[in-house]
Amino acid sequence: MVSSVPESVRAGVLALQGGVAEHARMLEGLGAEVALVRRESDLIGPDGLRLDALVLPGGESSTQDRLLRLLDLAEPLRAAMAGGLPTLGTCAGLILLSAEVLDPAPGQGSFGLLDVTVRRNAFGAQLVSTEAEFDVEADGVAGLGQCGAVRGALIRAPEIVSVGPGARSIVRRDGHVLGATSLDAASSSGGLGTVTGISFHPELSGDAAIHRALLNVGATR
């Protein structure tokens, strides 16, 4: 059983492709109201932004990028995140958030909101995916593993090959950087920044620590 977060937090999950249901269930289990984001009206209403936090799920990053542009959702989503909407990207979501993708598919772009460079599919095929525990260096993140490590699955995961001055690494394993968060007012006390990307899937391992921290950032906006 996961503990709840402050009431009235509304979290969106980008629902164009990938592991949408797993993130939605985890957020609902934390007590958030969940909205599936498929069009601009799911994101922005007559009174402004409809969400307090957002998750970009794993899946196929080039497919998600293409659908975002096809549905005219890319620019509204970019503007919302750039304006301070707390966002977590897992696996493909990390790729979408990154400033640079070393090996993009033809025509693939990214939001450029997290100051990191990534390499797609750095950890091989889906058949060699693995579950592990990851130490997350961010206040307020304590997972289900030993010493509070966060459990997650690596599935054709991207690697962060460099971190720029606008971000800091928060997850390292065996010499690889597998998570980073933005350096901004939200992270000034050592917690998660407004934009966070990780290579692994805690939602597949039932570990809600990072999602809880995301919702807590959203609750303080």
**pLDDT of 16 higher than 60:** yes
Instruction: Please tell me the predicted confidence (pLDDT) of residue 186.
Output: 82
- Residue ranges per structural domain of the chain: 10-219
**pLDDT of 128 higher than 60:** no
For the residues 187-214, what does the mean pLDDT come to?
A: 94
**Could you give the C-alpha distances from 98 to 101, 134, 143, 154, 221, in angstroms and in order?**
7, 20, 25, 18, 23
With pLDDT > 70 as the criterion, what percentage of the chain qualifies? 93
Instruction: Please tell me the predicted confidence (pLDDT) of residue 1.
Output: 36
Distance CA 94, CA 89 (A): 5
Instruction: Please tell me the predicted confidence (pLDDT) of residue 5.
Output: 63
For the residues 200-220, what does the mean pLDDT come to?
A: 94
The two tokens of residue 209 are 């620590």
Report which DSSP code applies to 142. -
Identify whether the C-beta of residue 165 lies closer than 8 Å to the C-beta of residue 117. no
By DSSP bridging, strand 10-14 and strand 53-56 are parallel
Instruction: Please tell me the predicted confidence (pLDDT) of residue 83.
Output: 95
10-219 CATH: 3.40.50.880
In this predicted model, which residue has the larger pLDDT, 9 or 156?
A: 9
Q: What is the pLDDT of residues 31-61, one digit of tens each?
A: 999 999 999 999 999 989 999 999 999 999 9
Identify whether the C-beta of residue 88 lies closer than 8 Å to the C-beta of residue 56. yes
Out of 91-105, 126-140, 142-156, give the one with best mean pLDDT: 91-105
pLDDT band at 127, cuts 50/70/90? Answer: very low
- List, by residue number, the catalytic residues: 91, 201, 203
| Local structure of 179: helix, strand or coil | strand
pLDDT band at 2, cuts 50/70/90? Answer: very low
Least confident of 86-90, 95-99, 107-111: 107-111
- Alpha-helix residue ranges (DSSP H) falling in 3-160: 20-29, 40-43, 61-70, 74-82, 92-97
Query: pLDDT averaged over the chain?
Result: 91
